[in-house]
Every structure is written in structure tokens, then in C-alpha cells.
Structure 1
Amino acid sequence: MNTYIPLWTFIVLMIVTPGPGNLLIMTLGSQHGFWKSIPFNCGLITGNLLLNVSIVCGFGVIVDRFPNASTIFAYLSGIYMIWLVLRGWNFQGHDNEQPRLLGFVSGLFIHPVSPKAWVMGLLAYSQFVSPDAAVFEAIILVPLSFLIGLMFFHSFWCLAGCLLKKVIGKSLFLNRILSIVTIGVVLWAVIYGININKGK
């Protein structure tokens, strides 16, 4: 059990920090509340699970060997996530307003196209799972650890958005501040991912 503590510490530190997924779910929570955000949250978690499984299956090696393709992928991922943020740019939370609620499918693609999520997954396998690891460690442990962590911390960030809405109230200003912060983090994640590719 003690051998897994460094891995779990790494995962907690990575997924608790502000990232595109966390800030998107917080923005959604502030706009629509916790319960209406559950489908998007489930999509986020499922997408991360699929990402980690794809790394186990060797897709991470392909991404690592073609840095130019990874750079294009990073730009496209940034465009996709910023588009999702801007869909709710004018949302004010009025009772008669039709919200643009993001669902399961929208959340499903966030982690697979997020440079930060790829870096987290690749580091988890390269630094904490030995090449001769047992099947449990190599195939089950890392995806399951991320799954449990994301269930807790994505829900935490969503509740934080709900709390902001309660404290500040339904506000276009709050919505746009959260949107700007989220876009800033998305751009940072894209630039970070591109710089890593250039360093290879």
C-alpha cells in the first residue's frame, strides 16, 4: 500500500489544481447548479478514464513520437474548450432564460483533448508505474485512481461554483469572470503542452 502513496499524492495534487475541466465544471455549477451539471461531470470523468486506458494501450507512445501532430492537437483542443466556454458567455441565470446546458457528450471530450490531462496521465505511468509492473498496477490502478479522484474533486469544483452563485447571486459579471479565467487556463494548458512538445 505504501508504494502507491506517491502515485496517489501526485494524482491529488494534479487534479485538485485549476485546470480546464475543473473550471468548466465550476462555471457550469454557477450557471445551472450541481444536479443539472451531473451529466457533464460524468462525461468529464468518463473521458479521463478513456484517456488513461488509451495510454495503457500505447496511444501515448504515438503522441510522443509525433510532436508536430501533438501541437496541432493542442491548438484544436484549445479551440474546442474555448468554444464550450463562450457558449455560456451571455448567460445571466434569469428564470425565463433558456440555458445552454452542456451534457455528457460535451464533457466526454474535455480530458482527451486537454494537454494538461495528457501530461498528467503520461507522467503517472512513466514515473510511478514500473515497466515490469503487475497487470493490476499497469492497467487498473492508475485509471481507477484518477477516476476516484476526479469524482470527488470535479464535484468539489462544481459545488464551489454553486457556492459562488449563492454568495454573489445570478450575475452576468460572475459568469463572465469565470469564463475569462477558464479561457486563461485553457490557453495556459495549450501553451504548456506545445512547449513540452518543442522540448522533445
Structure 2
Amino acid sequence: MNIVFFLLYCCLMIVTPGPTNIMILTTVHNYGVRKAFEFSIGATFAFFILLSISVIFNSILINFLPNIIIILQIIGAIYMLYLAYQIFKMNKSTKNKSQFSSFKTGFFMQFVNPKPILFTLTVFPSFILPYYKSFWQLSFFVILITFIACVAFSLWVLFGKVLKSFLDKYNKLANNIMAIFLVVCAIMISGIFN
């Protein structure tokens, strides 16, 4: 296995902007670092579960991949459009901390977000399973990739913290831009342009 390409693939897929990272940035902006970490922990835990499921059921899921992807694209796009609407209509005076900033939201979002699902389904057959088969080796890679995700989500929290004063100054504009990013993500994952 080419470890450099493996790590590059993991970092690019996890760190690049996607629905989870945009929601982390939104949570930092609207509810603060503590709530963003709570959201991130939920997302990281779900990511760990997705990786574990991928290792265990990879050969079974590949046979059903087209059907699973279509369903996830539809559910994920609808959920992201809902989140975009909630962010768009949010303002500083009506913030509700239970709305987005929870472990449960971060956890659930990973299961309807095709980006981490596609990543977990592709990273093992592409990089790991051709070279490693034992339980301990596969467990090591699940933990390593989960650690990379945890670091990536933490970087987005830090990024949000650094930009918080700017985002607070332009609250409505920042929320509108993040809502637009989620709409774009929803369109991209919906399969409309495939």
C-alpha cells in the first residue's frame, strides 16, 4: 500500500468542505466552540461506526451499492435542504441551542451524508483490503482514519473560532452563505447532474 496516497486521500476527503464541516463552522458561529465540539464528537463517533460497518460488510455492501447510494442521495439532499432552510431563517435573537448543536445532530448527519459513506466504502477496498486482512490490521486503520476525522473536525472548529468575530459582525450574511453552501452540497449529492 502506498501510505502517502492513502493519507492524502483520507485528508482530502475528510478535511475538504462538505456538509458536516459546514455545519461545524455554522455551529461555532452560532453557538460557540463547546457546542461545535459536541456536534463534532457525534460526527466522529458516527464516522467510526461507518468505518467499522464498512470493514465488516464491505463485500456485501458493494453488491447493493447502487441502490444504497440512490437512497442516501435522496435522503441526504432533503436533510441538507432542511438544514439550509433552518440556517437561512436563523437570526441572532432567535438562536435555539438545541436546533443544530448537539451530539445527536452530528451523529445523524454522518448517516445521511453520502460523502463519508462513499469515503468509508471506497477507502478499504481501494487502499487497505488488497494488502491487509487481519482483524488487528483492519482495526488499526479504522482507528487511524477516525483519528484523522477527529483532527479534521477539530480544525473546522478552530477555523470557526478564529473567524467568529468576523462571522458575528456579518451574522445574516454568514448564515446565508453557509445555507447556500449546504444547498449546493444537497444538489451535488442528489445525483441531479449525474
- 1:123: how far off? 1.8
Please tell me whether residue 182 in structure 1 is matched to residue 182 in structure 2.
Answer: yes
CA contact (8 A) 2:31 2:101 kept: no
Q: Contact 2:30 / 2:95 at 8 angstroms: preserved in 1? A: no
Question: How far off its partner does 1:97 sit?
Answer: 4.5
Residue 146 of structure 1 aligns with which residue? 145
Give unmatched runs, 5+ long, in structure 1.
196-200
In structure 2, the CA distance between the partners of 1:18 and 1:66, relative to structure 1 (3 Å rule), is closer
Indicate the SS of the match to 1:102.
coil
> How many aligned residue pairs are there?
191
Measured against aligned partners, the alpha-carbon deviations of 1:119-139 in whole angstroms (never above 9, x if no partner) come to 21122101111345222222x
Query: Which ranges in structure 2 are unaligned for 5 or more consecutive residues?
Result: none
Aligned 1:150-165 pairs, distance under 5 A: 150-165=149-164
Instruction: Please identify, of 157-166 and 146-155, the stretch whose mean Cα deviation from structure 2 is larger.
Output: 157-166
Partner Cα distance (2:133, 2:95) in 1: 53
Task: Write the letter of the residue equivalent to 1:76.
Answer: I
Larger proportion of helix: 2
1:124-139 aligned at under 5 Å gives the runs 124-131=123-130, 133-138=133-138
Q: Report the CA distance between 1:47 and its aligned residue.
A: 0.7
Output the CA distance in 1 between the equivalents of 2:68 and 2:35. Answer: 36
Normalization by structure 2: what TM-score? 0.85
Pair 1:35-2:31 in alignment: no
Structure 1 residues 30 and 60: CA distance shift in structure 2, 3 A: farther
Q: Does 1:26 align with 2:25?
A: yes
How far apart, in 2, do the equivalents of 1:21 and 1:60 lie?
27
Q: Runs of 4+ in structure 1 displaced over 4 angstroms?
A: none
TM-score, normalising length from structure 1?
0.82
Query: Over the residues paired in the alignment, what is the CA RMSD in angstroms?
Result: 2.5
Q: Distance in 2 between matches of 1:66 and 1:14?
A: 19
Contact 2:41 2:103 in 1 (8 A): yes
Distance 1:149 1:189 in 2: 23
Contact 2:33 2:157 in 1 (8 A): yes
